[in-house]
Amino acid sequence: MVMAQEFDELGAGLRTWQVYDPAVKVELFSTALEIRAGTFIVDPVSLAADLAEDFHNVTGVVVTNANHHRASAEFAQRFNVPIYARAESFGDARPPSFHDLDQNPHPHGELQSVAIEGAAPGEIALCVNRSLIVGDALINAEPYGFTFLPAKYCIDFKRMRQSLRQLVELDFDRILFAHGMPIISRAHARLTQLFEQ
């Protein structure tokens, strides 16, 4: 897999990096967020070694669905930390130090995991520090723009859309995506408007 060579610093303890994956013909985005408990790395793609050294007090790696294993094992091994995901994301092939977000959706208190049904297997969104981090259920990528994952990629589009409605009840200003550029302001209003279309 290709390796990212730079970060985007978004402030509020957030960094993203991305690579284009020619196998699936889409940009893959990863997020690192620093909270009081430490740094969580979400859906990581490989990163140049000197950049990975910039992470401090890494507490865990989060996988947002079964399609986003990416370099999660590499990061978990490098920093000797657990992988957080729903059981469905790994099935019987759960990695060492696996933490099941179905059993504990609030690891470390601040970090809130929300199960999203109907998208990819094991889909979650994370909410912390007024930021929402999503796997595949919401995208912000060409040619679609900011929208729901297209039905052809969903297990059950209608169920996914209904499940995503619970995100409107959360408190966030930013959305970060596994596929697409972050929305760094007024994201809650943008998501609310999406349901009105």
Is 46:156 a contact under the CB 8 Å cutoff?
A: no
Structural domains of the chain, count? 1
Pairing of strands 98-100, 112-115: unpaired
Q: Do the domain assignments include residue 2?
A: no
Report if residue 171 sits inside a domain: yes
Looking at the domain assignment, is residue 1 inside a domain?
A: no
**Which of 73, 12, 5 has the alpha carbon at shortest distance from 44?**
73
* pTM (two decimals): 0.94
What is the model's pLDDT at position 113? 95
Q: Give the pLDDT of residue 138.
A: 98
Among 1, 6, 33, 25, which residue's Cα sits nearest to residue 17? 6
- CATH of residue 72's domain is 3.60.15.10
pLDDT of residue 173: 96
**Partners of 85 in the β-ladder:** 100
Q: Which tokens in the block code for residue 54?
A: 């910039």
For the chain, list residues with pLDDT below 50.
none
What gap in Å lies between CA 197 and CA 193, rounded to an integer? 7
Partners of 60 in beta bridges: 40
Q: Identify whether 50 is part of a domain.
A: yes
Structural domain span for residue 29: 8-196
The pLDDT of residue 155: 97
Q: What is the DSSP letter of 45?
A: P
**Which pLDDT value is given to residue 133?**
97
Note whether 70 and 44 are within 8 A (CB): yes
